[in-house]
Each structure stands twice: as structure tokens, then as C-alpha cells.
A and B are shown apart, each in its own frame.
Chain A
Amino acid sequence: MSEPLLVVKDLAVHFETEDGLVQAVDGISYTVERGKTLGIVGESGSGKSVSSMTVMGLTRAGNARISGSITFDGKELLTASNSDMRSIRGGDVAMIFQDPLSSLHPFYKIGDQLIEAHRSHNDVSKAKARDRAVEMLTLVGLPDPRRRIDSYPHEFSGGMRQRVMIAMALINNPKLLIADEPTTALDVTVQAQILELIQKLQAELDTAVVMITHDLGVVAEVTEEIAVMYAGRIVEYGSSDTIFAAPEHPYTWGLLKSIPRLDTPRDEPLVPIYGRPPSLINKPSGCSFHPRCPYVREAHKKVDPGLEPTGGADATHKVACLLPAETRRSLWAALRAGETPDQVLQEVDIPANTLSPSAEGQTGEEVTGQ
């Protein structure tokens, strides 16, 4: 248990396009321990899917420039050959996608697809693989699996298709399951079924899970650690308890305050995040979040913050923010009490030039968004 299952270090994934270089992922690091769950939260275009697809070796296109390192179970994946990647993909690392209809082949019976997934990684007879497929379909709670194994994907409802996808992903006992928005296309009641299923199977099979989602409710229910991504970077990282109880990045605050919740008073106003996510071709200088941040100071437009420990109670808690730690804490305390950013700004004094430790030695330097 000592060595982490997945170590992603300084991963950058850039794509050359006609419009310019898209910096989809721009230097992120995280680790996933065996059997644990990491949540990656972010909006569209934050790089959350690209980073996980790179783990699977799915971004190896001609125009992609990938740097950094991805170590899975002691093996470097970025330099692995395509055939090595093929044996890892679907074997030790499996993925489930948002839309179960487009990720299942419409022409083949689900049984044939499950059998192929099993036989391409294991030297077993068709009959044995079929037994395994039935076993997996039973495990994911598909009713009457012996008969339904000969059905086509369109004969299933959305929730059942997602169960089939999960069965296929887990058929080779993967050590790591990457779930990319697995419940976004589903109704809440079905979402609850699928989340429960993933958690149950994870406990039984001791699979580590990377859960990618934009839904803070989903990560709160199923993950132990959370990485918040913005514009290709991780801007905050910590245990899920910390991220929800004591977040320190203004973007995380924005996310938490802009969703209506069932457990807060109904008339509590929503505080939207102004503006919109930046272009990944032409990122803002300094802190990428500065054009949308209500607490921006002149210096934040020049200095690029690094992801640094917050020094709080949670030792894993890290944040990439140029505000001094004590300022961040008083800002969140006021926001949490129900104040809007405008009210908060009148009360909390933000020093114009004091920067958090992460920026030390950088002030005045020319920093670009690269």
C-alpha cells in the first residue's frame, strides 16, 4: 500500500491547432492511492477530461504535445509503446464515459462486446468469457442477465446502459477506474443508483476511482479527495471535507456559492461567477482566474501562482492563490455567513501588494501564461 497507484507529475497536454496552441492541461500533478477515490471538478474546458484521457493514452494525436510523467503501478505511461498502452487500457485501467449510448457499439449485442473486452486481455474460451460477462452483468444489477446478454444497446434504458458500461469496464478487474461524468446524462434517481453501484463495487473489488464531474454534489457523496481544475491547472486540492468546509480559492468559493442547494434557505441569493472561462489558446496573464475574480489586485495580473500548501489543518490542502492566507480565510468566513462578494470587499481589507508565499521571489518577474 505504500506506493501510490497513479502518480501524475507536471503533466502538460497542448494541442497545435490552426488557431494556435491550445493549452488544455498545463502542468498538473496528483496521486491516487490504491482503492481510493479522487474527484476532479471543473467546468467545460478546464482540462479535466483531457488529463484523464491522457492517462489512458487517448490523446496521442499528431498535433498533441505531451510532457511530464504519468506513473501507473510503477510503470511510466507517457513513454509506453502503443501496444503496451493497449494492454493496459481496458485491463488495469478502465474508463466509463458520460454518454453510454454512444460508447456502446449499436450493431453488436452487449454480450459480444463484453466477451470481446474480456478476451482481448485474457486467453480464455468464448464460453468462459460469456460466463464472466453474465457474472459481471449480475454484479451490476442487470435483471435477467442470461437472457439480456443477447440484447442490443438500444434495447436498454440509459441507466441500464450505464450499468452495462460499468460491467464492461470492470470485467478485467482493473486497478483504476476513470469515470468521466458517469451520471451527467441520467435522471437523479438513476444517478443515485449508479453512484451507489460504483461505490459498492469499488469496496468489493478494491478499485481506485478517478471521478470527473462538474457536479459538486456528486463529488461530495463519493470522493475522498478533490482536485478543482480551472483553465488547465489544478487551483485547489484537498480532502473533500476540507474543500467543502474550508475552501481557499475564490473559484471554489464561486462554484460553491453559485449552485442552489437543498440544505440552505431557499431565499439565499445565488452568487454567480462573473464572465466566462478563458480561452485556452490565449490565457490571461498572471493568475488565470484574475479576470473573473472579485478580489483581484494589480499584482495578481502579473504573477502566476503555484499550487502551495495552505498550512491549514489538512496537510494535503493546497491552493494556487496570491491572496495572503489570513485574508483568504476571513473572506471565506464572510462569504460563508451569507455575504456577497461586494459586501465582503467592504469589510475585509485586501492588502494591495502582499502576496501569498507561493509568489515569493516572483514579484516583478515577467510571467506569461505558458
Chain B
Amino acid sequence: MKKLFLSGAAALALMAGAVQAQTVRVGVAAEPYPPFSTPDAAGNWVGWEIEIIDAVCAAADLECELTPTAWDGIIPALVSGRIDTIMSSMSITEDRLQTIDFSDPYYNTPTVIVGQRDMQMDATPEGLAGMVIGVQVSTIHQAYAQTYFEAGSELRTYQTQDEANQDLASGRIDATQADALALADFLATEAGAACCEVKGTVANDVSILGRGVGAGVRKGDDELRAALNRGIATIVANGTYDEITARYFETSIYGS
């Protein structure tokens, strides 16, 4: 009886150890970022990116656990080991590559300026001169705006894109720069449609805007990176990616 109990406990411990070794804590921003990842009224996370995370983990045979983390501390959280990967619409840029590694990109969308309907502006430094622009903190949009727009316009940084959108709807800021799809989601709402419209796409600068969104991993964590790449390639090849995308967007966002 004792031997049975001991061997049962040993088997359980081995299994637990085995399962734990595979649990990958996936960091997502704790702030809502529709339509990619947002919490619903029941406290679950839903959105295009959440479904992609589930699909990639299933395809790569990883046990994934969503770990909401504050967006402006998400890279330190990865570096210090609180999370194992970042899959939160984080673009692959030179700056970030100095601190962390990225998987292959899994989507790429243009960056647009959305502004007040009754104001004349376009997506260039001259077109935005004298305006108040809102951006989310710690994003490629903040870096881009600081490089190109800060000289001629006033920049305000917000903890979440949602708050920037809110201030845009209130009229406190004149424009915001963000991902085209995230802003399309805002413009589809009542408040967004009433106040604002897309003013243009910003001139591309790959060194700041990056070459697509990838999953961040710690430097040197090649095993996880390879597994994620495998997962991404699998779901793109077998059609899961397109199926999930079709539920949220009209065209493919995989980019080139």
C-alpha cells in the first residue's frame, strides 16, 4: 500500500514537473487594445491576438498561460523573468532588438493619423504643425512622433491608446497616431465616428516603426523562439490564421 502511494506520488510529481516545464507565461498588456486583446465583462480576454496566441500555442504544443502585465513595464517583466514571451502587438524595432529577441512577424499593418473632423491636417510634420497629438506610451508611435512631430507640435503621452481616443473624442487633443486597425475599431464606435476621421498614413520609417509585429522573447531563448516560429508558420500554412482573421478584419493583415 505504501509502495503504491509512493509510486503514485512520484508519478504525479514527475507529471507536474513535466507540465510546469512546458508552461509558457505569455505577457499581454493589461490595458484593453481592441480589437486585438480586450477583457470582456466576464473577466476573460478576447480578441484577434488572443485567438492567435491560443492557435500558435496549440500548433507549437506549448502550454500557454495569459499573464496580463502593465504595458510600460512589459519588457522589464520579460527581462526579469516574470513572463516568458510578449505577444501584445509589439513591433520589431532596432531599439527593442538590443534588449530582447523576436520571433518571425505575425502581422503588419500601416500606421495612420486620426484627427478631428473639422480640422485640416495630414500625416506629415508640416500638416500637423501647431496641433496637439496624443500617443500611447512606450510604443513605436511615441518614438515616431517624438522623432518627427515633436519639433512642431505638442505631444501628450497616455498610458493606453483608449485614453488617447477618449481625449480625442473629448476634443482635448487634435490627433492621434496609432495602428490603423486599432483606430478603425475606435472610428466604428459612436463617439469615434462623430468626432474624427482618418487623415492619412504616416511616411514609413522601418527603423522606428519596425517590420511587423512579433512575439518577444528573452535574448538567447532560442528554444522558445523556434517553437513560436514553428507555431506561427503552421497556423499560416494550414489556414487557421486566415480563419481567425476573417472573423475580425476584411483583409489579411499578415503583411509581406
Tell whether A and B belong to one assembly.
Answer: no
Which residues of B are interface residues toward A (Cβ below 8 A)? none
Which residues of A are interface residues toward B (Cβ below 8 A)? none
